Structure 1
Amino acid sequence: MEFTSTTGEQQYAACVRAADDLLVGLDFDGTLAPIVEDPEQAHIHPDAPEVLVDLAEQVGAVAVVTGRPARQALALGGLEEVGNAVGDHGRELFVLGQYGNERWTSTDRRVISPAPPRGLATFTSTLPRLLHRAEAGDAWIEEKGLAVAVHTRRLDDADAAYERLLPLLTDAAKSHDLDVEPGRSVIEVRAHGMHKGAAVRRLVEELGARAVVFGGDDLGDIEAFREVERLRADGMPGLLVCSDSEEESALAELADVVVSGPDGVLALLRELASDIASARA
């Protein structure tokens, strides 16, 4: 493992020492599942379930924190089955969907979700007109219940369409008191005020965690990285892991360790679980 920050090795060692109270938070797309053209086919890496179960045996809790609806992440990741196995070790798996607006746990086993934000339905009804204005009429609109995402990946010139759409959708979202979350060839519009950083903070407080590892790959993970930085400033050990890609480099500049996609993430998690087990031996 090669650390890319000056304190990465120190933070990693501190997380190993605090394993019993360590929260490991992980994004889904690009971190546990490869990025694909059709998001509905973004199945979890085949090795991920076994790695997550082995990791859960060694740490306080594991959480998947994703912009996807929780039910979608559960299905694409086989995470209910993972939760069953995690429960056998006396641990708990959390799935926080839609940036923390939805919650599922392997103990409760039901998705808890608020009502859709005001203004979202009206905003969604304007999308066809906005796509037409941006010459991106064939962009895919994904309605998530609590959010709506516009995907440009399938378009002939995805980057150009994205650049035309982003200011239009941002202005329209603001007029409906909604937030815009740019990502890899996707622009998501959702409720104001909830993001992955807030989700991580709430979970740390709920669990009484004394250390945090967070792994992500895209702009939607920046708030989670910032929250871990704030926790570290208060003295809590925290490790930031970037699942790197050619499409997005912002997280790499903030990370303590940069790995190559889901394969690299899983290799790091295996090493973390092994080092914790060795430290206990």
Structure 2
Amino acid sequence: MTNQNVVISDAKLGFSMEIMVSLYDSAALFPQAVPKPLSALGGGGGGAPIIWTKPSFKKFETAAVGGGRINAWVDSMRASSPTRRSSDNEENKSWILNHPSALSKFEEIMNVSKGKQIVMFLDYDGTLSPIVEDPDRAFISSEMREAIKDVAHHFPTAIVTGRCKAKVYNFVKLSELYYAGSHGMDIQGPIKGHKCRKSNQTVLCQPAREFLPMIGEVYKILLEKTKSIPGAKVENNKFCLSVHFRCVEEKKWAELAEKVKSVLKDYPRLKLTQGRKVLEIRPTIKWDKGNALEFLLESLGYANTNDVLPVYIGDDRTDEDAFKVLRKRGHGFGILVSKIPKETNASYTLQEPSEVMCFLKRLVEWKSLSLQR
């Protein structure tokens, strides 16, 4: 079998993508130059999303990090990293009513999938692996690995993560998966072929390649700047950086945010966003987990068809970009992993990685039974 390069392009978006090696006009990817996302990938309109708005976790994101009150950052850091389950039973009941368990509604989800190809998208931290204090020790269990492997045997399966692609691969060690690291800025297809894939090319997409020297430079500066703050950890995820504050005392959060901002003021082409107990530095290109989901569906041959059911499972605010894409497509489901009410565009919920594993196992059982009929 010989691989060939296939170019995917769109005049409206102003860039071209090539399977095997993707080439981009990076200047056209900056937000001020980019129109709305590719309409061919948007699909049907769908209904208006059901969004829980209490408590309201304000999204705090900026491309220009100079100025602004540090207190606002600390408030946002606190809101984006809840540590306690809500004690309001009425709030919980209302939220669960609008975002029911994917396990309790499993048959409903499977009924919608009839006649469609399921494609699975999975976040890593907090979804497949429990959140741990040391991000270098976020290992998955052997049982979870086996569940993912079984799912990938029946359905195209991708792990979409803010982590470096190579690091997540070392955690998972499954060559039959798609891996989208650095929030989708580093995508590679399976080393092993997949029978559900409509083409034979290995996907490689790196829309932020020109930022690598800058990311490396900022990484070294942040290591030096944050070493005086106990518990702070800077992680190089190749096309983005993560500043973890899970082990930092809350009284030090303002100082940490100030140090990060002081570095980024000299790098206007980088932006600062937030996740669960982490500050994330990314290139200011219009690319996120939602774009990664669209790119992978197009690479699989499902860009302009309704004969596909994408299912995305994730726990973080960065996964909301993918949930929004599924809402816009009008088919497919987002599943939020959370024990507490959160503002979300997901349709269903699971409480923790153990429930994610149960869902994956039920999916395999359902597929196996359907093949026997």
Fold match, TM over 0.5? yes
**1:17 aligns to 2:99 (yes or no):** no
Matched residue of 1:223: which SS?
helix
- Which of 31, 35, 49 does residue 131 from structure 2 map onto? 35
Cα contact 2:246–2:278 (8 A) shared by 1: yes
Figure out how many residues of one structure are paired with residues of the other and give that number.
256
Match of 2:326 in 1: 228
Distance 1:4 1:190, change over 3 A: same
Matched residue of 1:79: which SS?
coil
Distance 1:108 1:166, change over 3 A: farther
**1:208 aligns to 2:278 (yes or no):** no
Give the Cα–Cα distance (whole angstroms) in 1 for the partners of residues 293 and 226 of structure 2. Answer: 34
Match of 1:254 in 2: 345
Match of 1:146 in 2: 239
**1:45 aligns to 2:141 (yes or no):** yes
Give the Cα–Cα distance (whole angstroms) in 1 for the partners of residues 108 and 229 of structure 2. Answer: 44
Give the Cα–Cα distance (whole angstroms) in 2 for the partners of residues 54 and 187 of structure 1. Answer: 34
Q: Describe how 1:132-281 pairs up with structure 2 within 5 A.
A: 136=229, 138-155=231-248, 157=249, 159-162=250-253, 165-166=256-257, 169=260, 172-173=263-264, 175-193=267-285, 194-209=287-302, 210-232=308-330, 237-245=331-339, 249-250=341-342, 253-280=344-371, 281=373
Give the Cα–Cα distance (whole angstroms) in 2 for the partners of residues 198 and 137 of structure 1. Answer: 36
Distance 1:43 1:15, change over 3 A: farther
**1:56 aligns to 2:140 (yes or no):** no
Identity of aligned residues (%): 24
Match of 2:164 in 1: 69
Cα contact 1:71–1:111 (8 A) shared by 2: no
Cα contact 1:3–1:258 (8 A) shared by 2: no
Amino acid paired to 1:267: C
Match of 1:90 in 2: none
Cα contact 1:115–1:146 (8 A) shared by 2: no
Cα contact 2:203–2:299 (8 A) shared by 1: no
Per the TM alignment, residue 147 of structure 1 is displaced from its structure 2 partner at its CA by 1.8
Q: String of CA shifts for 1:62-113, please: whole Å, max 9, x gaps.
A: 0001111111001111223xx2xxxxxxxxx201111112123223799955
Give the Cα–Cα distance (whole angstroms) in 1 for the partners of residues 112 and 145 of structure 2. Answer: 22
Distance 1:163 1:240, change over 3 A: farther
Match of 1:88 in 2: none
Distance 1:161 1:238, change over 3 A: farther
Give the Cα–Cα distance (whole angstroms) in 2 for the partners of residues 38 and 18 of structure 1. Answer: 43
C-alpha root-mean-square deviation of aligned residues, in Å? Answer: 3.1
Cα contact 2:118–2:309 (8 A) shared by 1: yes
Give the Cα–Cα distance (whole angstroms) in 2 for the partners of residues 205 and 267 of structure 1. Answer: 29
Match of 2:189 in 1: 105
Quick check: which has more Rg, 1 or 2?
2
Higher percent of residues as helix:
1
Per the TM alignment, residue 152 of structure 1 is displaced from its structure 2 partner at its CA by 1.0
Q: String of CA shifts for 1:173-222, please: whole Å, max 9, x gaps.
A: 46421122311111110222221011001111121332100000111211
Distance 1:240 1:108, change over 3 A: same
Give the Cα–Cα distance (whole angstroms) in 1 for the partners of residues 268 and 214 of structure 2. Answer: 5
Structure-2-length-normalised TM-score: 0.60
Structure-1-length-normalised TM-score: 0.77
